[in-house]
Amino acid sequence: MNWAVTTYDSPFGYVSAKGAPLVDLLDPQPGERIIDLGCGTGAFSAEIAERGAEVLGIDGSAEMIAQAAALNPGLSFAIGDAHDFTTSETFDAVASNGALHWMTADPDAVIAQVHAALRPGGRFVGELGGAGNCAELIVAMQTAWRVFGLGEPELPWYFPTPAEYATRLEEGGFTVRLLEHAERPTLMTEGPNGAADWVRVYMAHALADVPPELVEPLLGRIVDLAAPALRRESGWVADYVRLRFAAVRKPDGAAPMPVGPFADP
C-alpha cells in the first residue's frame, strides 16, 4: 500500500532535500551502476534507470522481486537480505527508499554490506522513518492494546535519531554529506479508515494474535484515540517523520577519526 531543509551543493547535485524526490539527491549518472536496496516492486529502481544508470534492485521478498521483474522488464532484480547480500563487483552507489526501517535485525550489518558493495568514493543515499515516525499512530495502538488487557505488540521497525544513524554511518566507513530529520505529514489516500487501516496493513502480525471478537472494538478504540491528532476534514494524515541522508564511502586506508583527549588538535 502506498500512502502515499535545507539545500546543499555536492557531487549529489544541488537540491532542496526536504520533499524533493530522493532520486534527485542520488543524482544517477548515465552508465553508473546502482543498487536499489529494499526495492519492493521496483518503482524507485525504474526512476533510477530513467536517468540512464544501470540498476540492480535487491529485496528480501521473493514475491516483491517477482512483481518488480514483471512490472519493469529490462531491469535487473535479485532476492537478497540486506544484512548479508554480496556482489561480485562493486557499485557506484547504493540507494534505498523507505525500506531501511524494516531492516531491524542489525543496522550496522546492513551498513557494512553496503560499504562492501561500493567502490571507494561510492555513494550511499537513502530515506527511512526517523525517530518519532508515526508516534501518534503507535501511541494510540499501544494504548488500545493495554486498555483491552493485551500484551504490548512488538513493533517491526527501526526509526533512528539523526545522531544515532550518523554515528553508525561514520563508524561504518562513510563520510556523511547530508542528514536531515523532517516531519512529513502524509494524506492516507488509500486508507479511508485511517488508523484502523494502517494497523490492519502494517501490524497484521500483531492483530493475528488478538481474539477475533476483540479486533473490531480494538480498532475502534485506536481510531478514537488517534483521530484528534490525525483526522482532518480532508481525511486521515499519517504523522510520518523522515530521515534522509547522503554519505560517501571513505577511501580505503582512510585514517580513523581521532577521538578522545589525546587526539591531535
Give me the residues that bind ligand BEZ (CB under 6 A), please.
98, 129, 133-134, 157, 202, 240
Please state the closest distance from residue 134 (CB atom) to ligand BEZ, in A.
5
- SS3 for 217? helix
For the CB of residue 35, give the shortest distance to ligand BEZ in the complex, in Å.
20
| Contact assessment for residue 96 and residue 39, using Cβ atoms and an 8 Å cutoff | no
CA distances (Å), 113 to each of 86, 107, 202, in order? 7, 10, 27
Residue among 91 and 165 whose Cβ is closer to ligand BEZ? 165
Q: Which three cell numbers stand for residue 55?
A: 540498476
Distance (Å, whole) CA 105 – CA 116: 18
Instruction: Give the nearest residue (CB) to ligand BEZ.
Output: 129
Least distance from ligand BEZ to the Cβ atom of residue 83, Å? 19
Closer residue to ligand BEZ, CB minimum distance, 129 or 153? 129
Instruction: Give least dist CB 6 to ligand BEZ, A.
Output: 21
Residues whose CB is less than 8 angstroms from the CB of residue 63 and which lie 6 or more positions away in sequence, other chains included: none
Main-chain phi, psi angles of 28, to 5 degrees? -65, 140
Q: Which C-beta is closer to ligand BEZ: that of 53 or that of 99?
A: 99
Q: Between 1 and 254, whose beta carbon lies closer to ligand BEZ?
A: 1
What stretches of 59-134 show up as alpha helix (H) in DSSP? 62-71, 107-117
- State the number of CA atoms in the 13 A half-sphere of 224 facing the CB: 9
If one counts every other C-beta atom within 10 angstroms of the C-beta of residue 168, the result is: 17
> Closest distance between ligand BEZ and the C-beta of residue 28, in Å?
22
Min dist CB 88 to ligand BEZ, Å, is 31
Residue whose CB is less far from ligand BEZ, 29 or 143: 143
- Residue whose CB is less far from ligand BEZ, 118 or 238: 238
